[in-house]
Amino acid sequence: MKSKELSVDLRDRIVLRHKSGEGYRKNSAALKVPMSTVASIIRKWKKFKTTRTLPRAGRPSKLSDRERRALVREVTKNPMVTLSEIQRSSVERGEPSRRTTISAAIHQSGLYGRVARRKPLLSKKHMAARLEFAKRHLKDSQTMRKKILWSDETKIELFGVNARRHVWRKPGTIPTVKHGGGSIMLWGCFSAAGTGRLVRIKGKMTAAMYRDILDENLLQSALELRLGRRFIFQQDNNPKHTAKISKEWLQDNSVNVLELPSQSPDLNLVEHLWRDLKMAAHRRFPSNLMELERCCKEEWMKLAKDRCAKLVASYSKRLEAVIAAKGASTKY
């Protein structure tokens, strides 16, 4: 708790003793005032030539410097802590706990609540591979983009859209976030002509399960989207995708493969459709995983063909952005 201010008379006596040549220690012992307080009053007198309380700019803060530092440490150590959680911690410590008081103190330290972006950590090897990929495919992107069947897997949580989470951070810092909870895994594909099939993955996916997904859905999706037999199948280099059993199936079925470099969600156009799907499915408030699966499949079929076509049209610009960033991650 903050201590009460000393009376003007006591402050004047401290200064008077200082003028007479008495040291801080003797001054503190004689008047029974902490030596740090004696030093603070004398510094103020030297600077402003008064011991009176100076006019303040506004209402005094209810938080002490120590309490303010404790708040900053808490949100720096755990950027995803919510304001409600901080408030409960403050109540338990017996400190001021108004939400406005807490948020103002955190803001004064340069920390603000922001939506955490999912941005991968790239090594030099990743950046070099991304740059080489972008340069190699930029020239052909205009002609080949309409022939590509884009694919990916995603996790969709039952409660809450797992694409967004607020964190405390300073401007210019971008933390990575992960999410949990009851969820389903989905595999889906799309092209410039619209969405292909969407499949739920039950349990932990293996290379054999991935091969079966391709066998039951890939060629059928390409046929339904009228891509022709010479279409290009996009996938990332997940170990299940590049496993021997998966490669053999693709080779046996004469499927041309476009493998994206590691840590490149900005080049995978399906990421945007996943975001659209999650928002649409959660607007229907499914109450269990079976309802969530049904909602996802229904909303997937409703995704506009124009949306798919615009995403595919943006592929060249995405490659150019990677080249301009010299392989570094770009906004997606």
Please tell me the distance from the alpha carbon of residue 83 to that of residue 30, in angstroms, as a whole number: 46
Cα atoms in the 13 Å half-sphere on the side-chain side of 294: 8
What tokens does 186 get? Answer: 């989905």
In the predicted model, residues of the chain with pLDDT beneath 70 are 1-3, 56-58, 115-121, 141-143, 160-169, 171-181, 331-332
Q: How many degrees, rounded to 5, is the angle at CA 181 between CA 177 and CA 186?
A: 85
Please tell me the distance from the alpha carbon of residue 93 to that of residue 243, in angstroms, as a whole number: 54
What is the structure's pLDDT at 179? 44
Cβ burial of 181 (10 Å; 0-12, 13-18, 19+) is exposed
Angle, helices 83-93 vs 99-108, to 10°: value is 110
Q: Has this prediction a pTM greater than 0.85?
A: no
What is the structure's pLDDT at 331? 64
Question: Which residues, 6+ apart, have CB-to-CB distance to 122 below 8 Å?
Answer: 130, 263, 327, 328, 329
Please tell me the distance from the alpha carbon of residue 208 to that of residue 246, in angstroms, as a whole number: 7
Please tell me the distance from the alpha carbon of residue 188 to that of residue 154, in angstroms, as a whole number: 9
For residue range 36-58, what is the model confidence (pLDDT) as tens digits? 999 999 999 998 888 888 776 66
What is the structure's pLDDT at 180? 42
Of 222, 216, 186, the residue nearest 296 (C-alpha) = 186
Whose structure tokens read 């969709």? Answer: 156
What tokens does 292 get? Answer: 């969530």
For residue range 251-297, what is the model confidence (pLDDT) as tens digits? 999 999 998 888 888 888 999 999 999 999 998 889 899 999 999 99
Question: What is the dihedral sign for C-alpha 318, 265, 275, 171?
Answer: negative
Please tell me the distance from the alpha carbon of residue 239 to that of residue 243, in angstroms, as a whole number: 6
Quick one: CA torsion of 62, 66, 70, 72, rounded to 10 degrees?
A: 80
